[in-house]
Amino acid sequence: MGYGPKYMQRTLALGSLEKIGQKITLSGWVNSRRDHGGVIFIDLRDHTGLVQLAIHPENKEAFSAADKCRDEFVIKVEGTVVERLKDLANKNIPTGTIEITTDHIIILNTAKPLPFQVAHGHGEETLSNEELRLKFRFLDLRREKMQMMLQKRHHMIQTIHHYMTEHGFIEITTPILTSSSPEGARDFLVPSRLHPGKFYALPQAPQQFKQLLMVGGVPKYYQIAPCFRDEDPRADRSPGEFYQLDLEIAFADKDETVFQEMEPMFVELTEKFAGKKCMQKPFPRLPYLEAMELYGSDKPDLRFGMKMVNLTEDLKDTGFSVFGNAIKGGGVVKAICCQDGAKLSRSQIDELTEMVKKEGAGGLAYIVWDDKQSDNVEARPGVPNKDGMPGHAATKTKNLRSPILKFLSDDEIKSIITKTHAAPGDIIFFGADQKQIVNKVLGKLRDKLGDTFGLKDPGLIAWAWITDFPMFEWSDTEKRWDFMHNPFSMPQGGLEALNTQKPDEVRAYQYDIIANGLELSSGAIRNYKPEIMYKAFEICGYTKETVDEKFGGMIRAFEYGAPPHGGFAPGIDRMLMLFENEPNIREVIAFPKNGSAEDVMMGAPGTVEEKQLKELHIKLDLPKKK
């Protein structure tokens, strides 16, 4: 059956540029309507952009319909594409050189007054609060930024699919309803109606299944996998659910096997998809302990330097009690030098001091090296010596100022200046406490200074692999050893390492892929031998019976010829955040939860009927309202 004589294929707004002089049909939303005293102009919007409609009064039917149109009405129009006069062209939109002389308008649907403005051409400053945007997300998605974000997400995922297929990976979906397992976060549990008292768990990751696929003979597996974790929301983490590029490679027995297989994909996404520059190729390999020592973070932003310098040995005999007491108590003194930091105001330094106090520091010691003479009362009198370093008595410099200078010897100051590579115009910040606290505090301070001084180039992506993670970490809350990351990682040294080394000495074949201060994924070369798995879980307090109960399927599989294998799973949402310089993860997801892990648009989580609870053999034991 053919279409009727009046059928005309829909033309998109941007496509109308190619049809000057032709009669076309357009459909979309009323972005704006303007009555210019005799001629009504409507900016029609679809997913490709805007195009202007001109409705003249002599066309009474179309003019009457246009007069009724309001913002976000859905309309269908027929008209002829004509060129605008040059002095009437709109240079702000791609279709600004044309307009549609409109013959017919059909109002397909009306719209209520809007809770907030969504029309293209309005700046982000017109946006309402996020909670209202999420409640009316179907409207929020019409905004130009969100339309572009959805398209970019699609193109990024298509690029990933193409790369994985070209490199021999097989896309395989894994179960959503599975068993509960200890993977570092709380499970979402699903009660079973057919098996009263038993529960499925939504997968925190397809970890066991992808390892079983390796045992099953699959050479390379991947999927864009949905994952579910009942954890608190953060700016870079979607509460409840997220998607990741989950992958695994058979016969990968070294980190480098995975790195060399997947690094080109990140380069392609950076350079071709995002149009940005990789800071370094190949990506640096940075051991975990080194990252913590130099940057105070296992996901440092490497677009700028400002490494931490250990001054503990240089200041071991210092007369400054804050430093001395920290060292005597088994702690460290470390410093970072911020270039051009002397321009920080006193109020800015006070703000930084309050910030580090919240991170556990007692205060924030600093030395400013002014690039011009200062009469500040905290400065030490004198002039620089011939080496440009502060000397004693007549050779002391007025250019250094700090409340702590009077407590430091000249040799100590010279050592600090030398080791931090400070120069006139810089500021040196210090941390003195137990190493873990100092690393954390100075790491946060470094990151903040990177923002303050504009050191984070948005056109640059500094990829790196963080390697050699500790296998175990001590849990103060549970008073036992726990897995630092993935419990299925192979310890370096195998069973012998587990039997002969202290738990905090054992390193794992475990790695992270990071970029610009974001962790995109953890990964590992997997533990594929039952005896090593039993021993690793034993160190964390799990009995052989518990391991068999929780991971019996995997244990059995490993007894039938499991190959070495490894992989990782970079987050889709975080990758898009990275490429778009978007700090809020909710801006890259179509239907995100709010900061309280609620879907305010759909009303989830919500209550269910008593009948449903009875079918599942569940009785509620809710806390009493205060």
pLDDT-derived band at 387 (thresholds 50, 70, 90) equals: very low
Find the farthest-apart pair of alpha carbons in the chain and give their distance in angstroms, rounded.
102
Q: What is the pTM of this model?
A: 0.88
316, two tokens: 């071991």
Q: In whole angstroms, what is the distance from residue 231 CA to residue 201 CA?
A: 14
Q: Which residues contact 350 (CB under 8 A, 6 or more apart)?
A: none
510, two tokens: 């475990």
Q: Does residue 335 sit in helix, strand or coil?
A: strand
315, two tokens: 């200041």
Higher pLDDT, 392 or 313: 313
Min mean pLDDT across 24-38, 181-195, 282-296 is at 181-195
Whether the CB-CB separation of 65 and 21 falls below 8 Å is answered with no
Q: In whole angstroms, what is the distance from residue 491 CA to residue 469 CA?
A: 10
**For helices 346-358 and 435-452, what crossing angle results, to 10°?**
140
Side chain identity, residue 159: T
225, two tokens: 């996998």
pLDDT-derived band at 372 (thresholds 50, 70, 90) equals: low
Whether the CB-CB separation of 563 and 200 falls below 8 Å is answered with no
Q: Dihedral of the CA atoms 484, 485, 489, 490 (nearest 10)? A: -30
pLDDT value of position 120: 82
Q: Where in the chain is the domain with CATH 2.40.50.140?
A: 14-109
Residue with tokens 């321009």: 343
CA 211, 215, 217, 219 dihedral sign is: positive
Pairing verdict, β 285-287 and 463-467? parallel
pLDDT digits (tens, 9 = 90+) for 170-205: 999 999 999 887 656 789 999 999 999 999 999 999
CA 260, 262, 263, 264 dihedral sign is: positive
352-356 contacts, C-beta under 8 A, 24 or more apart: 352/429, 352/445, 352/448, 352/449, 355/444, 355/445, 355/448, 356/431, 356/441, 356/444, 356/445
Q: In whole angstroms, what is the distance from residue 485 CA to residue 212 CA?
A: 20
Burial of 357-396, coded b for 16+ CB within 10 Å and e otherwise, reads eeeebeebbbbbbbeeebeeeebbebebbeeebbbeeeeb
Q: In whole angstroms, what is the distance from residue 176 CA to residue 197 CA?
A: 19
**519: which strand partners?**
514
**For helices 544-558 and 207-215, what crossing angle results, to 10°?**
40
Q: In whole angstroms, what is the distance from residue 584 CA to residue 124 CA?
A: 14
Whether the CB-CB separation of 374 and 398 falls below 8 Å is answered with yes
Q: Where in the chain is the domain with CATH 3.30.1360.30?
A: 304-455
pLDDT-derived band at 1 (thresholds 50, 70, 90) equals: very low
389, two tokens: 């370093």
With CA atoms as reference, report the closest residue to 247 among 210, 219, 273, 272: 210
pLDDT digits (tens, 9 = 90+) for 53-93: 999 999 999 999 999 999 999 999 999 999 998 888 999 89
Statement: residue 624 has pLDDT above 90: no
Q: Where in the chain is the domain with CATH 3.30.930.10?
A: 146-276+569-613, 463-563
**428: which strand partners?**
337, 367
pLDDT value of position 238: 79
Angstrom distances, CA of residue 94 to CA of 122, 128, 195, 381, 623 = 16, 28, 60, 65, 58
Record: fold of 463-563: BirA Bifunctional Protein; domain 2 (3.30.930)
Q: In whole angstroms, what is the distance from residue 381 CA to residue 393 CA?
A: 8
Q: Provide φ and ψ at 400, rounded to 5°.
A: -95, 135
Q: Is 498 exposed, middle or buried (0-12, 13-18, 19+ CB in 10 A)?
A: buried
- Gyration radius from the chain CA atoms: 31
pLDDT value of position 506: 96
59, two tokens: 């066309």
Region class of 30: left (phi > 0), else alpha (psi between -120 and 50), else beta: beta
CB atoms within 10 A of CB 254: 12
Region class of 256: left (phi > 0), else alpha (psi between -120 and 50), else beta: alpha
CATH 1.20.1510.10, applies to 14-109? no
pLDDT value of position 6: 53
pLDDT value of position 398: 62
pLDDT digits (tens, 9 = 90+) for 149-158: 999 999 999 9
pLDDT-derived band at 321 (thresholds 50, 70, 90) equals: very high
Q: What is the DSSP letter of 269?
A: I
Name the CATH superfamily for 146-276+569-613.
Bira Bifunctional Protein; Domain 2 (3.30.930.10)
Q: What is the DSSP letter of 558?
A: H
Q: In what order do the strands lie in the sheet with 565-568?
A: 170-171, 220-229, 240-250, 565-568, 518-525, 510-515, 463-467, 285-287
pLDDT digits (tens, 9 = 90+) for 539-589: 999 999 999 988 888 899 999 999 999 999 999 999 999 999 999 999 999
pLDDT-derived band at 383 (thresholds 50, 70, 90) equals: very low
**For helices 288-295 and 435-452, what crossing angle results, to 10°?**
60
pLDDT-derived band at 596 (thresholds 50, 70, 90) equals: confident
Whether the CB-CB separation of 221 and 210 falls below 8 Å is answered with yes
What average pLDDT is seen over the chain?
90
Q: What is the CATH number of domain 304-455?
A: 3.30.1360.30
pLDDT digits (tens, 9 = 90+) for 451-489: 999 999 999 999 999 999 999 999 888 899 999 888 889
3-state helix, strand, coil in the chain (%, to 5): 30, 25, 45
pLDDT value of position 332: 97
Angstrom distances, CA of residue 350 to CA of 364, 402, 582 = 9, 13, 28
Q: In whole angstroms, what is the distance from residue 188 CA to residue 549 CA?
A: 19
pLDDT digits (tens, 9 = 90+) for 495-507: 999 999 999 999 9
Q: Provide φ and ψ at 597, rounded to 5°.
A: 65, 35
